Amino acid sequence: MTILAIETSCDETAVAILRGSERPSGSDLLASEVASQIAEHEKFGGVVPEVASRNHLAQLPRLLGRAIASANTTINKIDAFAATSGPGLASSLLVGNSAAKGLAIGAGKPFLAINHLEGHLLSPFFGSKKIEPNIGLVVSGGHTLLVNVRGVGDYEILGRTLDDAAGEAFDKVAKLLGLGYPGGPEIEMRAQKGDAKKFELPRSMLNSGDLNFSFSGLKTAVRYLLPVILSRADTASPARTEGSREIREDACEVPRFARDDSVVSDLCASFQQAVIDVLREKSLRALQQTKSRRLTLSGGVSCNRALRENLCATCQKNGIEFLVAEPWLCTDNAAMIAFVAMLRSENGNVSNLADEIDPNLALA
Ligand code: KG4
Ligand code: ZN
């Protein structure tokens, strides 16, 4: 069984070809092509849907050609075609979905519509034949989820963010600080040089009694700190006061922070630690509640080394198995979509060609 999968849910155009194998490793990745659109969206400070879908359309034929060539195969030798059908940007999902459906019709082969979140969720098991039960922490730009995974397609959502996703918080805080897009890698880079204890930031909903998250308060706390830091960094300029805080008139001129690198690094480190602390504590509680002995981490934010190391050390200390995919499988890609399609088709699942994309597609 050889599957070709297309991923176009947001700002990455991706094509992968995965072949099933009898070996214990389960499958062979024959090709994985990803064309990032970061440069196109960076100037806007975030993803512009119209720009994203136009780029998917322009990139897809080239990526399909490259994937077929590097897999040393032909369209006729593909046994099934898969595409992300949600959640994501409607106009972007439509591009990959329509292309995969068209290829399936042309080749007379089955089509599989795959949930993007399921792609992330199962990515720590990439290549394996079996999905072991686990608590899955999915942290991406659009979602923060704690999921009780009992098997393929058997998911129970234990907790989710009530406002911003973890990755969204990284992106918004980076924007406040005048750093580049996407914010996660920018913040991580600066956090490495910073003191995480320098600024006291909130660990929201830690005692909420449930497994939900909230990151917008943390972002707001950073926003309120900025004028204070700025006035400290430039005492020569006039400032006005409001309550106990000093507010500079030009507090929005974020590039000024570049003058004091260490303050930015400390703020990035403090922010990153606040996110990690909440993710770790809620994950531990989910493991306790379900009596699970296995934690998986996935989604773009799971590229973050400090998060990976913190969760790995915590799991080791508590006798819990910890699984996380290699960084290239953590951000959006089509290999994870092909992997889910492979597992699903082995279970006899096929999608209806008339099924529509769903920008709000639920995982469970
Ligand atoms: O999974 P993903 O590629 O796309 C979505 O499905 O949303 O995740 C993208 C998110 C962005 O918010 C980005 O800032 C974040 O992942 N991210 C990181 C890191 N690399 C990417 N966040 C923290 N640290 C990183 N190293
Ligand atoms: Zn994603």
pLDDT tens figures, 48-73: 999 999 999 999 999 999 999 999 99
Q: Over the chain, what is the mean pLDDT? A: 92
Q: Is residue 171 lining ligand 1, measured as CB closer than 6 Å?
A: yes
Q: What is the reported pLDDT for 138? A: 98
Burial of 258 (0-12, 13-18, 19+ CB in 10 A): exposed
Q: What is the reported pLDDT for 38? A: 87
State residue 199 phi and psi, 5-degree precision.
-120, 135
Q: Is residue 87 lining ligand 1, measured as CB closer than 6 Å?
A: no
Q: With CA atoms as reference, report the closest residue to 89 among 122, 137, 61, 55.
A: 55
**CB-CB contact of 323 with 294 (8 Å):** yes
Residues in the chain: 364
Rounded-to-integer distance, Cα 21 and Cα 127, Å: 9
Mutate to test the pocket of ligand 1, among 303, 328, 330, 337 (most ligand atoms within 8 A of CB): 303
Q: Is residue 92 lining ligand 1, measured as CB closer than 6 Å?
A: no
Rounded-to-integer distance, Cα 317 and Cα 37, Å: 40
- Closest atom of ligand 1 relative to the 165 alpha carbon: 12
Q: What is the reported pLDDT for 244? A: 38
- Closest atom of ligand 1 relative to the 183 alpha carbon: 14
Q: What is the reported pLDDT for 255? A: 45
Query: pTM for the whole thing?
Result: 0.92
Q: With CA atoms as reference, report the closest residue to 240 among 228, 253, 249, 229.
A: 249
Rounded-to-integer distance, Cα 232 and Cα 247, Å: 10
Report helix angle 183-191 to 166-176, nearest 10: 70
Q: What is the pLDDT of residues 89-106, one digit of tens each?
A: 999 999 999 999 999 999
Q: Is residue 88 lining ligand 1, measured as CB closer than 6 Å?
A: no
- Closest atom of ligand 1 relative to the 12 alpha carbon: 3
**CB-CB contact of 118 with 363 (8 Å):** yes
Q: Is residue 86 lining ligand 1, measured as CB closer than 6 Å?
A: no
CB atoms within 10 A of CB 347: 10
Q: How far is the CA of 304 from the centre of ligand 1 (A)?
A: 9
Listed as ranges, residues in the chain with pLDDT below 50 are 236-255, 259
- Closest atom of ligand 1 relative to the 174 alpha carbon: 14
Q: How far is the CA of 332 from the centre of ligand 1 (A)?
A: 9
Q: With CA atoms as reference, report the closest residue to 69 among 97, 33, 102.
A: 33
Rounded-to-integer distance, Cα 126 and Cα 296, Å: 12
* Residue that is written with structure tokens 């703020």 in the block: 267
